[in-house]
Structure 1
Amino acid sequence: MSAEDAVKALLAGIEAQNMRVVAHINGQANAAKMGKEVPADQILEVFRPDFAIRVWSACKPAGHDIPLRIHVYEEGDEVKIACRMPTEVFAPFESSDLDEIGKELDVLFDAILNTTTGE
């Protein structure tokens, strides 16, 4: 799967899970605007307002770590997808409410990421 196809699959998965793309950073396109050519490198920032409100209520400092990111990039001939899962992102805050939100979001992010593997 190409990086572009992976991003398309992820965008469809984000929509299917009723999440929102807060920002889509296309490093390759931005480099091209400067006349530079780089391998594919895109970041999807993903979240949803109702989850944001819950995160802020559970632990205001955790607001710094949302939206969550999915990174699609080329390394050699391989397309790679990286994502720190919500429970991992929220764990340092040691909040049981935040842990529960993370578990809910893990299910959604698993489904989103699986759109690139056909699972």
Structure 2
Amino acid sequence: MRPLVLLALLLLAPAGAHALEPREGWAVAHSAKPYPTLLADLRAAITAANMGLVTEAGPTEAAAARGVTIPGNRVLGVFRNDYAVRALAASEAAMIEAPIRFYVTERAEGGATLAYKTPSFVFAPYADEGGAELSAVAAELDAIFAAIAVQTLE
């Protein structure tokens, strides 16, 4: 499946869908924090890391407007211009992956889940083309995304 189709399926998954669990290239952490709190803490951690919240999308509010109740579900795209410039210089094709996304989901049993694909995993298909510079960008972003996740989950 193409990544965008997979993302769309995840975003539109019915309330009975399986909870997110670790998978190759993903960081997944379950939290006892309620969904709104985890989402607010993620936004604060993104700001504290001096990263930009570039995009937000999720079906929860739109479904509610249609009278359909689904668990909280939100994707936040995060990036920063200096990383964009460096990644673009290393591999024009790699920029299709920016912004890199965090995914927050409400858990049926309570709490919420924070997940993201690690930047090094996201940029791996472009490693040959992007060389050492793209690898350096990915490694720096890995550390930033991990720090954002840790702060969010505290």
TM-score when normalising by structure 2: 0.73
Partner of 1:9: 41
- Structure-1 residue corresponding to 2:68: 36
2-side partners of 1:60 and 1:23: how far apart?
20
Q: Which residue of 2 aligns with 1:59?
A: 91
Structure 2 match to 1:112: 148
2:88 is paired with a residue whose SS is helix
Match of 2:123 in 1: 90
CA-based RMSD of the aligned residues comes to: 1.2
Residues in 1 aligned to 2:126 and 2:71: alpha-carbon distance in whole angstroms: 35
Partner of 1:81: 114
SS at match of 2:152: coil
Residues 38 and 153 in structure 2, CA contact (< 8 A), matched pair in contact too? no
1:84 and 1:17 map into 2 onto residues whose CA distance is 18
The number of residue pairs the alignment matches comes to 118
Asked if 1 retains the 8 angstrom alpha-carbon contact of 2:55 and 2:78, the reply is yes
1:38-70 CA distance string (max 9 Å, x none)? 001001010111111111111000011110000
Question: Deviation of residue 97 (structure 1)?
Answer: 1.1
Identify the match of residue 71 of structure 1 among 96, 103, 106: 103
4+ aligned runs moved over 2 Å, structure 1: none
Looking at structure 2, the residues matched to 75 and 62 of structure 1 have their Cα atoms a distance apart, in angstroms, of 32
Instruction: Give the structure 2 partner of residue 101 of structure 1.
Output: 137
Supply the AA of the counterpart residue of 1:110: A
Instruction: Provide the residue aligned with 2:23 in structure 1.
Output: none
Amino acid at match of 1:46: V
For the residues of structure 1 that align with 2:58 and 2:46, how far apart are their CA atoms?
17
